[in-house]
Structure 1
Amino acid sequence: MRIPFAAALPFALIAAVPAQAQTDPARTAVQGLDDGLLAIMKAKGTVKSRAASIAPVIDRAFDLSLMTRLAVGPAWTTTAPADQQALVAAFRRMTIAQYATNFDDWSGERFVIADRIEARGGDKLVRTTLAAPGKADIAISYRLRQIGGAWKIIDVFYRNSISQVATRRSDFASVLARGGAKALVAHLDSLAAKGSF
């Protein structure tokens, strides 16, 4: 199992608020993702088979459209609708490929979700820990937003400080500047083919 992320972004100003951890819908959304990841790790198989299994889990857990827009940044507003759709589709392919590649084997790993759900404005933060026998725990936090009546993940923070969206925005900006939306779609497809980021 590999979990690659790049640049660090300070994660501050989180106000903790008590919540009923067992029934909070944001926690339930993260639990569904964790369960899906453990399932593909235990099943092993090929990248293709793991991708097929995790794709519907990712579609339920994440708002990939909003994540794409946030990662593209200000350029999103001047991107043609057809290119926006192509970017979301490519972002989805990349996300599925990364999870299918990085969560490839199970050796006793488990996810522990913190009881306390934290608030940040109208969003929620669900903190988890990936624990593996004989290895240091890895903190992974999920920021969720209520969209269409469901809580969806809109960002992932590795070790509580590395924002996927911020990391990708930095990477995507240079690609967009060089070749626009079509170049970014090609870049995302290249990342999907590699299965890592």
Structure 2
Amino acid sequence: METPYQNHIAKSDFEHVYEPAEDSFLLIDALEKELDIIKTKNPMFCLEVGSGSGVVITAFGMAFPEAFCISTDVNFKACEMSQSTAKYNKVLMDTVNMDLASSFVNGMFDVIIFNPPYVVTETSECGGMDITASWAGGNKGREVTDRLLNMIPKKLAQDGIFYILLIEDNIPEEVTEIMTTLGYKSQMVISRKVRNEQQLVMKFYK
């Protein structure tokens, strides 16, 4: 998978939107590793929740130009940047300013991608609509993540795949248990240690 160009974005814009970092590129690497599997699903509708700069969903759209991509973000400036990144890289994508995936039709998406706010913080730090929404994860760094997990059975197509990036502080085993309870199988796609942080990408499917 190609990494999208982002030289249309001014450095100062990243004061308001999460700048692509190691976690963003690990997620792209995970999707690249999964390309052949995703191709067998013939994905038509794909969603990234919390797209930030749009680098991940745009990379996906570049690899699957026949798919219609949608991104969401609670931060309106992130929506604008995601849209501009897609347009600059000639990817067909709509961006919606919303909380997670709450307003979409059930069973709509063949692929859902999520790089959540995973930093362990006080609960009071969650719920922002600016750049803090990209990192403040609350208790276990999972308060936002757990809300989306409960939406997945409704938003993901029966044969769909859900990809999520986690760190060890998020207790991935508990995420797996939650998704197992919801009827999903799980697999770790890729893992990498970045400074003092172990990052990994999990996938969930029926």
TM (normalized to structure 1)?
0.23
Higher helix share: 1
Higher strand share: 2
Larger radius of gyration between Structure 1 and Structure 2: 1
Q: Which has the higher contact order (CA 8 A, sep 6+)?
A: 1
TM (normalized to structure 2)?
0.23
